[in-house]
């Protein structure tokens, strides 16, 4: 059964036309550009912090470290629940701020693992993400049924990670990492298809701009989580 995005796509007057296809390609390119720019900004901030003992002390040397850890969730909530109230430019600014704060949080990853293993895992993640996203974009199979299952998996992962903070089990951490890779691999394909199908529902330029930013946020989260879970069992610690 076709999902609501597919129904909208087929019902669109421009569906199947050259103009519609060109618009879809431009829209997806904008999503990927936002997502890639966000990842780049995160990487730059993480690298700068990891190479500066002064910044590390200022950010992680006190109770403000908890604010840095929780700030990305706050930005996600603002973007998700404020999408109808925020302008496209404000939403874009919030996305860049989120990517920068994520760089602060992920700077600890660069300190924990060797530079070589981080670079290797990044390229593996980029190649895997590209293949999975391409599959989500080109497949004729309806992936909408995966969404609820995968989100339940995400919540299960969060609970398992919290429990393992107290248990400190290396075996449980390995299982969490493997499941994390599988779940976010599935979400990459699912989110790509969802973003593609949502294009037909965009009523105007403002909505399209917001949709591109939120689509980039979803793919950014898929990429970063795929990277961190892969790094946890592929990376070499310092």
Phi/psi for 95 (5° steps) reads -65, -45
Higher pLDDT among residues 36 and 67, named by residue:
36
Decide if 180 contacts 161 (C-beta within 8 A): no
pLDDT tens digit sequence for 123-168:
999 999 999 999 999 999 999 888 888 989 999 998 998 898 888 8
> How far is 212 from 100, CA to CA, in rounded Å?
19
- Find the range with the poorest average confidence among 21-35, 55-69, 80-94, 163-177: 55-69
pTM (2 decimals)? 0.88
Torsion on CA atoms 155, 124, 132, 221, rounded to nearest 10: 40
Helix ranges, 51-112 (H): 53-60, 64-81, 88-112
What's the distance, Cα to Cα, between the start and end of the chain in Å? 50
Q: Is the model's pLDDT at 97 over the cut of 80?
A: yes
């Amino acid at each position: 059964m076709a999902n609501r995005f597919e129904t909208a796509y087929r019902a669109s007057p421009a569906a199947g036309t050259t103009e519609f296809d060109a618009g879809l390609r431009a829209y997806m390119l904008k999503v990927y550009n936002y997502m890639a720019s966000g990842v780049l900004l995160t990487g730059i901030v993480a690298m700068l912090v990891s190479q500066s003992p002064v910044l590390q002390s200022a950010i992680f040397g006190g109770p403000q470290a908890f604010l840095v850890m929780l700030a990305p969730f706050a930005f996600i909530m603002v973007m998700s629940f404020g999408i109808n109230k925020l302008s496209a430019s404000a939403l874009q600014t919030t996305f860049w701020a989120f990517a920068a704060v994520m760089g602060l949080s992920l700077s600890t990853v660069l300190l924990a693992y060797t530079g070589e293993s981080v670079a290797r895992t990044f390229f593996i993640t980029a190649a895997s993400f590209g293949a999975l996203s391409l599959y989500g974009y080109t497949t004729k199979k309806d992936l909408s049924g995966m969404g609820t299952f995968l989100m339940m998996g995400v919540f299960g992962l969060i609970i398992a990670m919290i429990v393992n903070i107290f248990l400190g089990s290396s075996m449980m951490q390995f299982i969490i990492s493997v499941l994390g890779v599988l779940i976010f691999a599935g979400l990459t394909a699912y989110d790509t298809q969802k973003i593609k199908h949502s294009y037909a529902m965009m009523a105007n330029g403002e909505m399209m701009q917001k949709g591109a930013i939120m689509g980039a946020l979803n793919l950014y989260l898929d990429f970063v989580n795929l990277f961190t879970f892969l790094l946890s069992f592929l990376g070499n610690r310092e």
